[in-house]
Structure 1
Amino acid sequence: MAFTATMLSWSVLEYGKRMGGEVGNARAAIRWATDYLLKAATQTPGKLYVGVGDPDADHRCWERPEDMDTPRAVYSVSKTNPGSDVAGETAAALAAASLVFRVTDRAYSRRLLAVAKTVMVFAMKYQGKYSDYLGSVVCPFYCSYSGYQDELLWGASWLFRATNDAFYLNYLKSLGANDNTDFFSWDNKFAGARVLLSRFQQQAEDFMCRILPNNPSSTTQYTPGGLMYKQSSANLQYATSISFLLFTYSKYIASSKHSFTCGNLLFTASSLRSLAKKQVDYILGENPLKMSYMVGFGARFPQKIHHRAASLPSLATYPGHIGCQAGFQYLDSSSPNPNILTGAVVGGPDQNDAFTDDRKDFSHAEPATYINAPLVGSLAYLVGSYGNG
């Protein structure tokens, strides 16, 4: 949720003027998340609440949110059980959102920033991976695979942008983080931090060279249809998040008419925009299957997404209780979902552009907010550039 909130905030900050009337909805979505994060960070002094529920028990059930009866245990990090990764991301989300609300709700913005500073101090002072201490509560579902240095970099970057306080800049310099990455996701924020702050220009461009195809530095695989392919599970999260960075860095360098080289090849802002647009177009249906991976958009889109509420009958059509195990008949059903989760983007196709619309195939058929959130900014950019036709 924190990464989702950060990316929605970044989208509004960069492209809010292109969102038209939808910017209010974007702010409302951010506030829904940051209200929760504020409570998680301030409810108990010295603790940051980071999770609710038993993931194993939840996965053993297939039921509607209204029928959930699995344990709602809460989990937290503290100075004795640190979680610099989740704390750094929470600080980033609150700091980024403080910028979104700086004009429209100054009191709320000030509160967001004050709590962001407190959470960041916690992340810096008590260092450790939250999954080292919470174990099976978060793994294998959301382990901190990349460690916590990226979140320290990310959180400090957003606080520096929000405050312009040299303290955060000096802290960024002290980290010396120089991870050569070709990922950007909820787990790995190095590239995002480098693009966010122009001081990381060389590292940002090293990342771009690893993404751009057909250059000697590229480490990114592409499907035959042109989709960047990073991992077999929920690959579109990388396509949406990296596309956002491509659009945003292209915006930064276009303003100064800057270009850069990968080996002996020259790349410009237009090069980055072209690749990013191709990724978004692919997601929305310009691909070998002519399949839109956004539910409810286009003539053909996934009908059997891996989503409990979408696959089970609504309360309006079936007001009776559907128990934990009884719901699996709907997971196993070959019928389309009765409820359309409009706008949700699923994990997407495999490395050969193939997609089996199979509810049980969570690696490809499951939507997630961290897939959608970066796409919001990219779509806003494209609407502002090409219109909504």
Structure 2
Amino acid sequence: MAFSSSISLILLCFFTFTLFLSNAFPFHHRHKGFASHNYKDALTKSILFFEGQRSGKLPSNQRMTWRKDSGLSDGSTMHVDLVGGYYDAGDNVKFGFPMAFTTTMLSWSVLEFGGLMKGELQNARQAIRWATDYLLKATAHSGTIYVQVGDANKDHKCWERPEDMDTPRTVLKIDQNNPGSDVAAETAAALAAASLVFRKADPSYSKLLKRRAMSVFAFADKYRGAYSNGLHTYVCPFYCSYSGYDDELLWGAAWLHRATRNPTYLSYIQVNGQTLGADESDNTFGWDNKHAGARILLSKAFLVQKVQSLHDYKDHADNFICSLIPGSSQYTPGGLLYKMGEDNLQYVTSTSFLLVTYAKYLTSSHKVVTCGGTTITPKKLRNIAKKQVDYLLGDNPLKMSYMVGYGNRYPQRIHHRGSSLPSISSHPAKIQCSSGFSYFSSNAPNPNILVGAVIGGPDASDRFPDDRSDYQQSEPSTYINAPLVGTLAYLAHSFGQL
């Protein structure tokens, strides 16, 4: 009888512990069946890509070895150190606005799914730190943020390697006389999100990031204005602030609330949320418009942390989710979410990340989404995201992977200067500004493989020309890859690859 009681007690403890694990780690969701792709390999490559976009003095452990040092005097014209950071896409300009968004999304990827990344976690942290080290330099002087290095108009008239570039390294800044609440609040979001990434790994660095995030957000909120008003000729049409700055203020406050747990930011959100557009129906999430991301982020505070005053954000997030259900949104004949003709895959990767992240929050709180009379479960959200990622990796009418270096067939002629020109190792002599266009117009494949780069992607009819001159479809960018990192980590784990 005692033996039987002991067995019963052991079984009770086992089932109780199992239930605890399922509640404590709801995102450890395992898909049934075989994986469509090697998500672990794609994850590794999606992070490696950032090494190909590095500016500055490259470290000894640089793995993308065809890239060399560049931009070593950046900031010198203004007597500041702005060496480092990332080139945003296929050009040689450092745009602070998309770089900050990239940093926020890389950090969010690690915060939600870094525990699943295993060996790639350190690489992901290094990718974030390459950006935050630069953002700390850009915000080192109180009341001033340096938001761009390079003249995009002149840079785009040349086709040259970053190692050779001789176009003006013009430095642009915002201050109280020329405000930029959008880029400042996004920078604050990036620093705040990254502070959480390094909270245990490097506490002193984390505290520095958090303090800077708070001061930068205060500046963004106090001196309001869109940065493209004062810097229009330099930042438009490249990274014009089309959606204004309300979304960044809400997004920045949401990240500071999460990073600091300071009630000041919760109060800010409660008081200003509606005027900053919390319930607007703009359902395109990317480098310019952060409303959908802010809704999902703030819904966690309600769903998981039980902050009752933010209950409306669950409804706002649900409205965004309902806009994505097939039949409510535009998809290509092959099944790709299609939002815009240029750089469409940035919306695919960012939306897929929001889907798996919201599914995690819903699972944790035992909630679902209701769209009209239809119940949408977390499993449904995960499946929608998986289908989008699978399309990107090759399950599409062309059987083409839109991640360079992944799969048997991928784009060969991407719109990227460094990738399309001979490397310094193979061609040490300088390639002048106009001389590079002979490589640009060539039909030959790019000599340097920018492993992991995800490009703009196919058109609304699933067509892709693989044409270097077609920057809308063939150019990679850091903000396409950043949210994909988190989704791939989730998928790799859920299929037992990590």
Structure 2 residue matching 1:228: 3-state secondary structure? coil
CA distance in 2, matches of 1:173, 1:188: 20
Structure 1 residue matching 2:432: 3-state secondary structure? coil
1:1-389 → structure 2 map (5 Å cutoff): 1-42=99-140, 44-175=141-272, 176=274, 177=277, 178-198=279-299, 199=310, 200-214=313-327, 218=328, 220-388=329-497
- Counterpart code for 2:293: G
**How far off its partner does 1:182 sit?**
1.4
**How far off its partner does 1:173 sit?**
1.8
Which deviations, in whole Å up to 9, do the C-alpha atoms of 1:320-339 show, x marking residues without a partner? Answer: 01000000001000000001
Structure 2 residue matching 1:319: 3-state secondary structure? coil
Unaligned runs of 5+ in 1: none
Structure 2 residue matching 1:49: 3-state secondary structure? strand
**How far off its partner does 1:296 sit?**
0.3
**How far off its partner does 1:212 sit?**
1.3
TM-score for the superposition, normalised by structure 1: 0.98
In our comparison, the structure showing a higher alpha carbon Rg is 2
CA distance in 2, matches of 1:317, 1:236: 32
Structure 1 residue matching 2:323: 3-state secondary structure? helix
Which deviations, in whole Å up to 9, do the C-alpha atoms of 1:58-110 show, x marking residues without a partner? Answer: 00000001110000010000011000000000000000000000001110000
Give me the CA root mean square deviation: 0.9
**How far off its partner does 1:181 sit?**
1.7
**How far off its partner does 1:208 sit?**
0.4
Which deviations, in whole Å up to 9, do the C-alpha atoms of 1:252-286 show, x marking residues without a partner? Answer: 00112211211111101011001000000000000
Structure 2 residue matching 1:69: 3-state secondary structure? coil
CA distance in 1, matches of 2:264, 2:219: 15
Runs of 4+ in structure 1 off by over 4 angstroms are: none
**Aligned residue pairs: how many?**
384
TM-score for the superposition, normalised by structure 2: 0.76
CA distance in 2, matches of 1:182, 1:359: 30
For CA contacts below 8 A with separation 6 or more, give which structure has more relative contact order: 2
Identity among equivalent pairs (%): 61
**How far off its partner does 1:174 sit?**
2.1
In structure 1, what is the equivalent of residue 75 of structure 2? none
- Counterpart code for 2:488: L
Q: Quick check: 333-342 or 172-181, which moved more?
A: 172-181
